[in-house]
Structure formats: C-alpha cells, structure tokens
C-alpha cells in the first residue's frame, strides 16, 4: 500500500509570511497532484508534477517534485487569508489517487 | 457547467434507511471514482469505473455499499441500512485515463451524508 504523509498537519500563520508544507512517501509515484479544499466543498486541483526535480509555479505557490519522485513540497510566498484551506497531496496509481491526510492552513489577517 | 456534478449536496437520513447518490462526470472522461472523506482526513478511495465496468470494488467499506455506472456515463453510489458511522462526505471524481499515466482527476463538490 502506498502511503503519503503530509506535514505539518496544522499551520496557522500571519498574512504576509512564507510557508512550506511537505508530502512524503516511501513509494515512487509516476505523478503527484496537489489539491486545495475548502470546508464543505470537493478538492480543487492546483497542479500536477510528473518529472523528478520538476518545479512548477502558480502565482505565489511553488510546487516541487523530489528527484526520486517520492516527495513533494508546496511553498507559498506572502500568504494571504484567501490561501486558507486544506492542502492535499495525492499520488497517481493504477486504481486511483492515494491521498495524504492534508495540511490545514489558516492565514490570519 | 462542464465540471463533475454530484447530487444531492446534502442528505440527512435516519439510521437503517437506504440512500443513493448520483455523480455526473465530465462528459469526455471514461474513468469515474468514488471516495469517502471523514472530518479531518484526506479522501479514501472506494471504487472506480472504466466506462461501465467496475474495475475495483474490494475497497468498498462493506457489503452495504454498492456502485453502478450502467451506461458508462453517470454513476450512483448506494448505501443500504445506513449507520451513524457512514456519516461523511462522499466525493466523485473523473479522469480521461489512468491516473498513473499522469492524467488529472477532477472532483465534484461532494454529497454530505448525515445519519441520525
């Protein structure tokens, strides 16, 4: 069974600060996706990373896939209250996506 | 709206009743997935379909859970004899191919089930 561990589980910071959240596994994934989920809604896809060492940027969000394709990180620059939410990483597999438990992020104004 | 659509958005039912949820995937997507998400957790895979064929159902939570996709388009998830522990968000997702081949999955807004 492929497992994804996300850290930290909870993070509360002030508006304007930078942060990084992590997604780690002992398994190799052919692709990894990051989602953001708000309460009562379904996950919304942010990005897919495929190649080891790949870096993708989405405005203030920077996503990196580890060289060995076992881990990933999400860095947010100058966090804003609108970034508040549950950030989920998910690895692609034969049957579907394996999700981590997520990082609950709160950005305080 | 061409995204994944789920209904109802919310369902409150009494313990012991049967419930059925519907998912309409993105029209050109041939793969459809069902997940369950409890409070504070990530989504948990339940089952998936390639067109009308259900290719994995061993991870359905019990024999009270069943899913169908009769014409390879919309899908239904049924829970029989609901229990309070079934209370959760039930999510549907669709994709155009095998996820391990780097295609992307898109989720609906989910159905929130509360069993009282």
A42 touches chain B (CB under 8 A): yes
Nearest to A93 among B55, B100, B110 (CB): B100
Q: Would you call A102 and B42 a contact, using CB atoms and an 8 Å cutoff?
A: yes
pLDDT score of A97: 86
- As a whole-number percent, the residues of chain B with pLDDT over 90 amount to 75
Q: What is the pLDDT of residues A73-86, one digit of tens each?
A: 999 999 999 999 99
pLDDT score of B100: 67
Within chain A, residue ranges assigned H as helices are none
Q: What is the pLDDT of residues A30-55, one digit of tens each?
A: 889 999 999 889 999 999 998 899 99
Q: Would you call A94 and B100 a contact, using CB atoms and an 8 Å cutoff?
A: yes
Q: Give the residue from B43, B67, B103, B114 with the most A CB atoms within 10 Å of its CB, the best one to mutate.
A: B43
CA distance A37 to A41: 6
DSSP for B30-67, please give it.
-EEEEEEE-TTS--EEEEEEETTEEEE-TTSSSTTEEE
Q: Would you call B105 and A30 a contact, using CB atoms and an 8 Å cutoff?
A: no
In tens digits, what is the pLDDT along chain B, a chain of 116 residues? Answer: 579 999 999 999 999 999 999 999 999 899 999 999 998 889 999 999 999 998 887 778 889 999 999 988 999 999 999 999 999 999 999 998 777 666 789 999 999 999 99
């Amino acid at each position: 069974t492929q497992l994804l561990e996300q850290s930290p589980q909870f993070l509360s910071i002030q508006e304007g600060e930078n942060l990084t959240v992590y997604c780690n596994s002992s398994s190799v994934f052919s692709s990894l996706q990051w989602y953001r989920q708000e309460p009562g809604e379904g996950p919304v896809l942010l990005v897919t990373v495929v190649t080891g060492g790949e870096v993708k940027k989405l405005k203030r969000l920077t996503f990196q896939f580890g060289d060995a394709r076992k881990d990933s990180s999400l860095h947010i620059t100058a966090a804003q209250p609108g970034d508040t939410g549950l950030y989920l990483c998910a690895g692609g597999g034969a049957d579907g996506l394996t999700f981590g438990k997520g990082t609950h992020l709160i950005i305080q104004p | 709206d061409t995204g994944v659509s789920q209904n109802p958005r919310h369902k409150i039912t009494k313990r012991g009743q049967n419930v059925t949820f519907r998912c309409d995937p993105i029209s050109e997507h041939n793969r459809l997935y069902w997940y369950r998400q409890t409070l504070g957790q990530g989504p948990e895979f339940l089952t998936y379909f390639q067109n009308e064929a259900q290719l994995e159902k061993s991870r359905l939570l019990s024999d009270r859970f069943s899913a169908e996709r009769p014409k390879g388009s919309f899908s239904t998830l049924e829970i029989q004899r609901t229990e309070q522990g079934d209370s959760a968000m039930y999510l549907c997702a669709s994709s155009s191919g095998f996820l391990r081949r780097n295609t992307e999955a898109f989720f609906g807004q989910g159905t929130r089930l509360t069993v009282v």
